[in-house]
Amino acid sequence: MLNRRSFFNHSLTASLAAFLGFTQCESPAQTENTAAATPSKSNPNSKAVTPAIIATWPHKEATGPAMDVIQEGRSALDAVEACARIVEADPMDQSVGYGGLPDAAGNVTLDACIMSADGKAGAVTYLQHIKHPISVARKVMEETIHVMLSGEGALQFALEQGFEKEDMLTPKAKEKWEKWKAENKGAPAKANIDQHDTIGVLAIDKDGNMSGACTTSGMAYKVPGRVGDSPIIGAGLYVDNEVGGACATGVGELVMTTLGSFLVVELMRQGKTPQEACEAAVQRIADRHLKEGDDLQVGFIAMNKKGEHGAYSILNGFSYTLHQDDQNEIHEATFMMMNPNQE
């Protein structure tokens, strides 16, 4: 499996892109409206649309089965959970779930949230020892009166719900952490593009309803206790079933302080296309937080209710997976500036 961080650090050559099945994206802003004319049987008030799934990063292995969930007639909520779970279970993915890189003390701490078409949400932060934080987040949404559980309380809740306690630190992740500790003498990691990212996913089901999910192990070697944007509703993820949804990846601190995903959705509500909204949110981060030479990365994906999508990032190297119209493809996102550290 391709290491996503290599996307940050190296330009994709055309041959590599072809090998991986990448398609050079025409401007997503020009994406055709995929809305169909006939209303759905199960919801006569909704306009039937082509089901669609969009996820941050190259995750065809997860968006494919998630689309199967939708084609079986299940909900967008089931689909985004299924998508996130596949990535959470992958030991080779070092920024999500099992196999994720630990904090500075060597503990893998996981953040996740989920948001359904009826505007409900569930989230867990600083969750340890559980392979599927996204499913715990869904349980928080469905089985409690709360939106977010954290740390030990989230773990106890997960165990009560029947989740198993497991060791999340793989030998590979442990080895990397030990190397980092030796080289950095335990100093906190710099919040740069090399050390983390996230999977965020949005889906539209056959009834035209949208849901989203976001899950991560967060910034590698983070200060113990740190929570990023991914489990924060409105930061790492936001879905409004009347408008559309958005997800963020990258340096969480930049996303949290601009409430990036909420901003993208609100801009779509005001009439921007998903692409225009993603670009405006990145611009907001740049205006507020960035100075010349910074190599901090944030990327957004967005999809509106018509199935139009957009994606944009601060630096080159961000990619996303779009499963729509029987095509499950990886696309390179457009970006604001070149990575100053890139060759």
Q: What is the DSSP string of 109-154?
A: -EEEEEE-TTS-EEEEEEE-S-S-HHHHHHHHHHHSS-SEEEHHHH
109 near ligand GLY, judged by CB under 6 A? no
Site for ligand GLY in 223-242 (CB under 6 A): 228-230
Binding piece for ligand GLY, criterion CB under 6 A, among 12-20, 66-74, 167-175, 212-220: 212-220
Binding piece for ligand GLY, criterion CB under 6 A, among 80-88, 156-164, 248-256, 280-288: 248-256
| Catalytic one of 125, 198, 321, 334 | 198
Among 195, 198, 273, 328, binds ligand GLY (CB under 6 A): 198
249 near ligand GLY, judged by CB under 6 A? yes
- For residues 3 and 91, the answer to whether their CB atoms sit within 8 Å is no
Binding piece for ligand GLY, criterion CB under 6 A, among 79-87, 173-181, 215-223, 311-319: 215-223
Closest to 204 measured CA to CA, from 94, 327, 305: 305
Beta bridge partners of 247: 237, 301
For the bound state, the minimum distance from the C-beta of residue 200 to ligand GLY, rounded and expressed in Å, comes to 9
31 is catalytic: no
The enclosing H or E element of 66 equals helix 60-71
102 near ligand GLY, judged by CB under 6 A? no
Site for ligand GLY in 32-71 (CB under 6 A): none
- Alpha-carbon distance 319 to 335, whole Å? 10
225 phi-psi bin (left φ>0, alpha ψ -120 to 50, beta other): left
Among 132, 196, 305, 323, binds ligand GLY (CB under 6 A): 196
For the bound state, the minimum distance from the C-beta of residue 236 to ligand GLY, rounded and expressed in Å, comes to 6
Closest to 35 measured CA to CA, from 22, 57, 19, 52: 52
> Residue 254 or residue 322: which is nearer to ligand GLY going by CB?
254
- For residues 89 and 102, the answer to whether their CB atoms sit within 8 Å is no
Among 212, 218, 245, 274, binds ligand GLY (CB under 6 A): 218
Q: What is the DSSP string of 148-179?
A: EEEHHHHHHHHHHTTPPP-----HHHHHHHHH
Q: Which residues are catalytic?
A: 198
- Residues of the shown chain interacting with ligand GLY in the complex, contacts defined by CB under 6 A: 196, 198, 216, 218-219, 228-230, 249-252
